[in-house]
Amino acid sequence: MGTMIKAEAFAQTTKVMNVAKQYAGELTKVDDFMRPLVVAQALHELRGAIGPDVLAVVRSMENTPLGFRTDRPPGGKQMPYPDEVLRDCVIQGMLDGLGFSHNQWNIIGGSYYVTKNGWRKKLQDAGCTGIVVQVEAPLPSEISESGGGERSSKFTAPMAAHASCTHNGKAYSVSMAATPERDTRRIVSAYGRDVGEAIGQMSGKAEATILRKLYYLCCDIPEIDEPEVMPEPILIERTPDSTPEQRDLYQRCLTELQAADTLEALAETWKAINELQKNGGITQAQLGTLTTAKDARKKLLS
């Protein structure tokens, strides 16, 4: 049974959030020279205001679907992050204009990390409209697998993505792609029981990265590096000649493979996928990626 949170704790949290909101608004107006002073003032005031009761409210949202994620979930090998780490990450999120709900930020490696949901909100708050993101799955030959935990493996691959929007009447777009001149795709790793599960996490990381790049471009801010994260994705396979219908069928096929809970069900699903490819429902390249997912699923079920 969870710890009972006092009503006073929610009132204190509301006060803290209102103070943080004022500082967040001030940070959007102050120049770069004075910005560190405002941040220091905000840290001093908010650190003093966030006591055990406010932290209890925040903890109630930690590692929940409606709250925020960390890389130290309940039941893991490591203890949850200490109060001082949680407090400073919450402050950083609030000063960034983000709340501790809807998975807008995570704590990864003890550091604050803005997720794809957070970057999308920051773009919207900046006045960006028509935000479109495409993330491309790697080719099967580009995916490498290495040892992981007892029930998962580590998968690594270069991820391509494209994002665009309109800001102040001007169109902006950014890409991470492989061209004859250079390869700007991001090398991403994720753990999963099979390659399909890992690609989902890798695509989430790639989406967060491309939205971050779009935000910095639109707002004319120098880009900084951030640690990796692990959520969900928009998945579009890397085949330039595929149609929207083929991409939709590919997504459905990948979902069906991941849902197969017996070898018999997997065999039936794979038979249907092969027929689909023969009839032009999906491309040969898509079939190659699905083959990798199928083989990994078969290994898991055997």
Question: 243 — phi, psi (to 5°)?
Answer: -95, 165
pLDDT at 242: 64
Taking CA atoms, 192 is separated from 37, 215, 278, in Å, by: 43, 29, 30
Portion of the chain with pLDDT greater than 90, in percent: 47
Q: What is the pLDDT of residues 222-233, one digit of tens each?
A: 776 555 444 433
pLDDT at 24: 93
Q: What is the pLDDT of residues 17-64, one digit of tens each?
A: 999 999 999 998 888 899 899 999 999 999 999 999 999 999 999 999
Q: Is residue 3 over pLDDT 70?
A: no
Q: Residues in the chain, how many?
A: 302
Q: Mean per-residue pLDDT for 78-87?
A: 92
Q: Are 87 and 199 in contact (CB under 8 A)?
A: no
Q: 171: burial class by Cβ within 10 Å (0-12, 13-18, 19+)?
A: exposed
Q: What is the pLDDT of residues 119-142, one digit of tens each?
A: 999 999 999 999 999 998 888 889
